[in-house]
A = this chain, B = another copy of it.
Amino acid sequence: MSRFAIGIDLGGTQVRAALVDEHGKIHQRLEERTDAEAGPDRVLGQIGGLTERLRSACDSSAVVGLGVSAPGPLDTELGIALDIPTLRGFSNYPLREELQTRLRLPVSLENDGIAAAIGEWQFGAGLGLRNLVYVTVSTGIGGGVIADGRILRGRKGMAGHVGHMSIVPDGLVCSCGGKGCFEAYASGTAFTKRARARIAECEETSLAHIGDVLDSRSVFAAAESGDRLANDLVDEEADILGRGFTSLIHIFSPEIVIMGGGLSQQFDRLQAGIQAHVERCAMPAFRDVGVVSAALGQNSGLVGAAALAFLPRRSAAES
Interchain CB contact under 8 A, B148 and A281: no
Q: With A148-B153, A158-B253 in contact, do A165 and B168 touch (Cβ < 8 Å)?
A: no
What B residues does A178 contact at CB under 8 A?
A: 246, 281-283
Chain A 239-278, CB-CB to B under 8 Å as 1, else 0, gives: 0000110111011111100000000000000000000000
Sampled A-B contacts (9; CB under 8 Å): A131-B155, A155-B253, A158-B253, A160-B251, A161-B283, A162-B250, A164-B247, A165-B248, A248-B251
Contacts A73-B283, A150-B150 aside, 20 further interface pairs with beta carbons under 8 A come to: A73-B285, A131-B154, A148-B154, A156-B285, A158-B286, A160-B251, A160-B253, A161-B250, A161-B251, A161-B286, A164-B247, A165-B248, A166-B244, A166-B247, A167-B167, A168-B168, A176-B283, A177-B283, A178-B281, A248-B251
A102 to B318, CA, bound (A): 40
Interchain CB contact under 8 A, B156 and A251: no
A251 to B111, CA, bound (A): 13
Least CB distance from A80 to B in Å reads 11
Q: With A83-B285, A284-B83 in contact, do A253 and B165 touch (Cβ < 8 Å)?
A: no
What B residues does A148 contact at CB under 8 A?
A: 150, 152-154, 318-319
Is A64 at the interface (CB under 8 A from chain B)? no
Is A16 at the interface (CB under 8 A from chain B)? no
A73 to B152, CA, bound (A): 22
A274 to B289, CA, bound (A): 33
Chain A 93-132, CB-CB to B under 8 Å as 1, else 0, gives: 0000000000000000000000000000000000000110
Interchain CB contact under 8 A, A255 and B152: no
Interchain CB contact under 8 A, A156 and B247: no
Least CB distance from A276 to B in Å reads 14
Interchain CB contact under 8 A, B254 and A154: yes
A168 to B155, CA, bound (A): 28
A252 to B178, CA, bound (A): 17
A250 to B164, CA, bound (A): 6
Identify which of A131, A163, A166, A254 gathers the most chain B CB atoms within 10 Å of its CB.
A166
Q: With A164-B247, A167-B167 in contact, do A159 and B147 touch (Cβ < 8 Å)?
A: yes
Chain A 277-298, CB-CB to B under 8 Å as 1, else 0, gives: 0000111111001000000000
Residue of B nearest to A175 (CB): B283
What B residues does A161 contact at CB under 8 A?
A: 250-251, 253, 283, 286
Identify which of A152, A153, A247 gathers the most chain B CB atoms within 10 Å of its CB.
A247
A246 to B317, CA, bound (A): 26
A158 to B319, CA, bound (A): 24
What B residues does A158 contact at CB under 8 A?
A: 253, 285-286
A91 to B169, CA, bound (A): 36
Is A199 at the interface (CB under 8 A from chain B)? no
